[in-house]
Amino acid sequence: MEHLLKLEQERDLTLDDCIKCSACSAQCPVAAVYPLFPGPKSVGPDMERLRLEGVRLDTSILSFCSNCKTCEVTCPSDVKITEMILGARQAAVKAKNVSSRHKLRDAMLGRAEYLGILGTISPGLTNGILGISSVRWLMERSLGISQLAPLPKYQPRFKGLRKSSAVSGLTQSLKQEPPSRKRVVYFPGCFINYNDPQTGEAVVKVLEHNGYEVILPPFHCCGVPLQANGNFKGAEDNAKKNLALLAPYLQEGLPVVASCTSCGLALREEYPHVKAEGAERIGLQTYDLFEFLWELHKRGELQEDFHEVPRSLGYHPPCHLKAQGIGTPSVRLLRLIPGVTIDDLDAGCCGLSGSFEFKEEKYPLAMQIGSHLFKRAQEGVAQGKFERLITECGGCKVQIEHGSGVKAEHPIWVMMEAYGLSDIRLSDK
């Protein structure tokens, strides 16, 4: 409670930093497509003033904030706008104006981890069932999960490197050397765990190729889906569980890497506020995967035995990477590989925003939000500027493919190809 109080005090202080310039509302992807959402300035700092005075306001509009944090990145005065909105949502969690149907749905979508565990018991069967249009229709009618939304396909769970995939010569040769003392903790996140284990394996291979032993504790969901769906208590519980798993490694000073930008953001921004051992170190020791690889490059420790990769790629920076305030390390790093050219599209939010788009009432908005990016992706491919997109976020990847039909991949696959570690070429994936 103490830390919550402190957070609230900090929030109150930044309230006065808002100079009402409206820059955030001008950049808000939701306000641009949804007239009932008055924009982050209004629902954030403006209404916060009233909320602090105890004025009761309609809270239903708060759920239309997609938690993309574009407002916080935009704000020139460092006002914690999304934090204010999330705080207000937390206060209104028991709001009466959420239909029970949506309550159940939000509770489910928040539990990406449980859905993942269930879905991966028999991925083929789950995907089969979810592929039946009448099932999706029923899900929309009963739960309010949009039948059009691109639910990511389930795959056999990520368990680190499975034997079959660890046959590459280089990985093998490293294994025969005496165990290295370079160790790194990898936080894969739900998307890797349940929907894209191959990318998780690629991350491990690239880290191993650089002489790292990769530690994979049995992490839980980072908590972002829970928070975004109003389960703040659940998010904090998950943070505590994960911190308990991390604490001994943090104590040792080991770096933690995240290949998902939302998990990474949670570890850096939310976890330090949790009252648990390790909270004081987690922000200091967490790295975005490519930020970590760039640090290795700076220290001269990155394996730079790159093969030429003659690829032109478009890059979509995920909102939660931007919110970390670390630039675009994957673009910087991939440009070290001979042959790679990258067009950083920076065409705004893809619209998916975690589970925002999966909700029936939000699906059309999400598609409209992403339309600018889809168009840029399609034009880029049509004009031969690039062949496909790369993006760190699994959600963005799914959405880009759904909205534009252009293939998207995690940038680690370019590293895989450059290292000659991939049996499958990027273009065949």
Partner 1 sequence: MWDGVIIGGGLAGLVAGIRASERGKKLMLVAEGTGSLTYSSGALDIGAIDLLQRSEKHPYALLQEKSIRDGLAYFQTLFPEYRENAEKPPLVLTPLGSCRTGGLAPAGLIADRLSQVRNIVLMAPKGMKDFFASVVKANLEKEFCQSTVRIYPFQVSAFASWYQVGRPVNGIEYARFWRTETGMQELGRLLGELTQDIEGSSVAVVFPGLTRVFSESLQKLLAQFPFPVVEMTDMSPAFGGDILHEALKRKFKELGGEMMIGSGVWQADCEGKTCQQVRVKSKGRDSILKAKEFILATGGVFGGGVEVTPTGAQEKVLKIPLFLPSEWTQAQFLREQPYARLGVEVDAALRPLDPQSGELIFKNVRVVGRMLAHWDPWVEFCGGGVSVATGWLAGETL
In the complex, the residues that contact partner 1 under the rule CB under 8 A are: 21-23, 26-27, 32, 35-36, 38, 72-78, 265, 267-269, 272, 282-284, 286, 322-328, 331-332, 335, 343-344, 346
Q: Compute the least distance from the CB of residue 418 to partner 1, in Å.
A: 19
Q: Compute the least distance from the CB of residue 23 to partner 1, in Å.
A: 5
Q: Compute the least distance from the CB of residue 28 to partner 1, in Å.
A: 11
Q: Compute the least distance from the CB of residue 90 to partner 1, in Å.
A: 20
Pairwise CA distance, residues 9 & 26, whole Å: 27
**H, E, C per residue of 189-235:** HHHHHHHCHHHHHHHHHHHHHCCCEEECCCCCCCCHHHHHCCCHHHH
Q: Compute the least distance from the CB of residue 175 to partner 1, in Å.
A: 32
And the tokens for 1? 């409670």
What is the CA angle 230-22-228, rounded to 5?
10
Pairwise CA distance, residues 274 & 228, whole Å: 17
Element (H, E) at 256: strand 256-258
DSSP 68: -
Nearest-CA neighbor of 60 among 84, 32, 95? Answer: 95
Pairwise CA distance, residues 219 & 198, whole Å: 18
Please give the order of strands across the beta sheet that includes 408-409. Answer: 341-344, 312-315, 388-390, 408-409
Q: What is the full DSSP assignment across 328-356?
A: -HHHHHHTTSTT-EEEE------S-TTTG
Burial of 173 (0-12, 13-18, 19+ CB in 10 A): exposed
Q: Name the residue type at position 328.
A: T
Q: Which is nearer to partner 1, 281 or 311 (CB)?
A: 281
How long, in residues, is the chain? 429
Q: Which is nearer to partner 1, 197 or 318 (CB)?
A: 318
Nearest-CA neighbor of 86 among 63, 103, 106? Answer: 63
Q: Compute the least distance from the CB of residue 327 to partner 1, in Å.
A: 4
Residue 417 near residue 426 (C-beta atoms within 8 A)? yes
Q: Compute the least distance from the CB of residue 326 to partner 1, in Å.
A: 5
Element (H, E) at 162: none
Q: Compute the least distance from the CB of residue 38 to partner 1, in Å.
A: 7
Question: What is the sign of the dihedral through the CA atoms of 309, 194, 265 and 316?
Answer: positive
Q: Which is nearer to partner 1, 234 or 348 (CB)?
A: 348
Q: Which is nearer to partner 1, 365 or 408 (CB)?
A: 365
The gap from C-alpha 233 to its chain's centroid, in whole angstroms, comes to 20
Q: Which is nearer to partner 1, 72 or 140 (CB)?
A: 72
Contacts of 277 (CB under 8 A, 6+ apart): 243, 244, 247
Q: Which is nearer to partner 1, 139 or 313 (CB)?
A: 313
Q: Which is nearer to partner 1, 237 or 343 (CB)?
A: 343
CA distances for 210 relative to 166, 204, 296, 416, angstroms: 15, 10, 9, 12
Q: Compute the least distance from the CB of residue 286 to partner 1, in Å.
A: 6
Q: Which is nearer to partner 1, 21 or 118 (CB)?
A: 21
Q: Compute the least distance from the CB of residue 306 to partner 1, in Å.
A: 18
